[in-house]
Amino acid sequence: MTLTVDTLNQHYGSSHILRNVSFAMEERQCLAVLGRNGAGKTTLLRCLMGLLPASSGSVRYGAADLTGLPPHRRIRAGFGYVPQGREIFANLTVRQNIEIASRACAIPDADAVFDELVTLFPVLGEMWNRRGGDLSGGQQQQLSIARALATRPSLLILDEPTEGIQPSVVQRIEEVIASLKERIAILLVEQYLDFARSISDRYVVLSRGGVIESGESSAMDHERIKSFVSV
């Protein structure tokens, strides 16, 4: 299904955070949202998930208008969300974190889901009964992604998946995203430009809440885009 964002605006008090943001992405496509800190990237993702209300504009997924729907309805429509900061349940085990997500969406054959996730992230199988709060930062990030995948999304939304992660785990996350692109769409906010360019099909650059550039990642002018992204 196609995700279509049309002239999306979002205000926080008197501040105009998102300004007429428009873009579209197809199924089995990876779109990277780039921009400096404060450009509106996380606000955009939170609006897509229904965690923040849009002041105007629309969010459509296939034929469905999701603009006014709450987060749980968007998840049932096919959205999976990995927030910045991971937000795992620290006092629950790895298995319990994943079970909560799959049960909330009434996913059938949960054992098959678990097997698939452990194949994607083998370290989670080794930590299956360990509390989330006892995992390293890289392990928690893998758990956060696995938990989102446990809902069987058709669109996975990731906010800064490589932030604060050691290179070996970044490599594993890149491999997972590359494999997932064969069957689902992926939208990610990313500061690490080389990672974004290598894994995405298209990119959108935000500045001061508005889209200032978009295009094919293969044709990205690295140095020029870097000037829009770097602090």
Distance of CA 175 to the CA centre of its chain: 15
Outline where DSSP puts E strands in the chain. 3-12, 15-25, 30-34, 56-61, 64-65, 79-82, 155-159, 185-189, 202-207, 210-216
Given the structure tokens 């999976």, which residue do they identify?
A: 80
Structure tokens at 97: 């974190």
Options 3.40.710.10, 3.40.50.300, 3.30.470.10, 3.30.70.141; CATH of 1-78+157-231: 3.40.50.300
Q: What is the pLDDT of residue 110?
A: 67
- Distance from C-alpha of 197 to C-alpha of 112, rounded to nearest angstrom: 32
Q: 157-216: per-residue pLDDT in tens?
A: 999 998 888 888 899 999 999 999 889 999 999 888 889 999 999 999 999 999 999 999
pTM: 0.93
Q: Is the pLDDT of residue 109 over 80?
A: no
Amino acid making up residue 111: D
Q: What is the pLDDT of residue 13?
A: 85
- Distance from C-alpha of 154 to C-alpha of 78, rounded to nearest angstrom: 5
Instruction: Tell me if residue 93 falls in helix, strand or coil.
Output: strand
Give CA separation, 136 vs 149, 164, 169, in Å: 20, 11, 11
Taking the domains of the chain in order of start, what are their residue ranges? Answer: 1-78+157-231, 88-152
- Distance from C-alpha of 92 to C-alpha of 48, rounded to nearest angstrom: 28
Fill in the DSSP letter of residue 126.
H
Q: What is the pLDDT of residue 85?
A: 83
Q: What is the pLDDT of residue 139?
A: 93
Structure tokens at 219: 């044709």
Q: Is the pLDDT of residue 231 over 70?
A: no
